[in-house]
Amino acid sequence: MGTPMMELENLTKQYPHKDASGKNTYKTAVDKLTFSVGKGEAFGLLGPNGAGKTTTIRMLTLLMEPTSGTIRYDGQDARAHAQDIKRLIGVVPQHVNFDQDLTVGENMELHARLHHMGRREREARIHELLHYVELEDVKNDGVRRLSGGMKRRLLIMRALIHHPRVLFLDEPTVALDPQVRRRIWELIRTMKEQGVTVFLTTHYIEEAEALCDRVAMLSQGHLVDLDSPAHFKEKTGLPTLEDVFLKLTGKKVSS
Ligand SMILES: Nc1ncnc2c1ncn2[C@@H]1O[C@H](COP(=O)(O)OP(=O)(O)OP(=O)(O)O)[C@@H](O)[C@H]1O
Ligand SMILES: [Mg+2]
């Protein structure tokens, strides 16, 4: 794994919840997650719907306070260094959250300004990123006119605007056709080649296998096991990660 970029210790999230009788209680969505992610590693969180993937990402990206546990980036406590960490990370959320009334270019511009980038730097970077994913021609179109695949590509480019060293992607290729999925995989591989630490969630086994150095299997908020895809198969003697997940959790990862 090398030097850790990110360390989670007993990371836990409990949401308020009403039980069947209407009594106020809580539900543990993420339960004492402890693991580290290496610098430059591509790390996958694999689990079915409701496993706690988005909740974990929201805590790691400082969008949500954990109920308990700690997060460290580069050895430093995340809460104490929140501003530094926000500069370090880029986030591709599970659901598209553009300003629908703005154009492609304006959405990028807005994000660049939030990162306090100067005008020249913004223009050059937006040009570079849109060019890279062949979205330059639609720069002046409203985002609502983009196809699903174009929106996904734009969402990733937006997250890269400030040259993050850690890129979070929450189910980056959900509902995309195989061709667009492959392009996004290429993009993620390129980021990794450039030394970016990649943390992605998925419930596509083949995505975890194709992209990740190591995979954490998550079931109902629990870390079931963590290993490289090759080791998972070796130690269980099973051919695919889907079989491994089923064996370890008794559940299928994708419904
Ligand atoms: N804001 C919230 N309030 C209450 N419960 C929540 C909230 N967000 C998530 N949960 C619950 O926490 C659990 C984990 O949800 P989470 O969204 O983290 O899962 P996920 O693995 O990302 O699922 P999916 O694959 O469907 O995106 C689920 O049982 C969910 O219902
Ligand atoms: Mg989710």
pLDDT tens column, 29-67? 999 999 999 999 999 999 888 999 999 999 999 999 999
In a domain, 124, yes or no: no
Strand 24-38: give its sheet, edge to edge. 24-38, 4-18, 68-73, 76-77
What's the average model confidence in pLDDT over 5-20?
A: 96
Taking the centre of ligand 1 as the mean of its atom positions, its distance from the CA of residue 222, in whole angstroms, is 13
Taking the C-alpha atoms of residue 117 and residue 152, their distance in angstroms, rounded to an integer, is 23
In a domain, 73, yes or no: yes
Three-state DSSP at 164 gives: coil
Q: Is 219 inside any structural domain?
A: yes
CATH of the domain at 241: 3.40.50.300
CB distance 29 to ligand 1 below 6 Å: yes
State the average pLDDT over residues 205-226.
93
Task: Give the whole-angstrom CA distance, residue 156 versus residue 169.
Answer: 8
- Site of tokens 């694999």: 46
Indicate if the pLDDT at residue 255 is higher than 70. Answer: no
Could you identify the atom of ligand 1 that is nearest to the CA of residue 30?
Answer: 14
What is the model's pLDDT at position 6? Answer: 98
Which domain range does residue 210 map to?
4-101+159-249
Q: Is the CB of 55 under 6 A from ligand 1?
A: yes
**Element spanning 249, H or E:** helix 241-249
Tell me if 17 sits within 8 A of 173, measured CB to CB.
no
CA pair distance 161, 75, nearest whole angstrom: 25
Cα-to-centroid distance, 57 and ligand 1 (Å): 11
Please tell me the residue having the least CA distance from ligand 1 atom 2. 15
Q: Around ion ligand 2, which residues have CB less than 5 A away?
A: 53-54, 94
**Do the domain assignments include residue 114?**
no
Query: 237 pLDDT exceeds 80?
Result: no
Domain count, the chain: 1
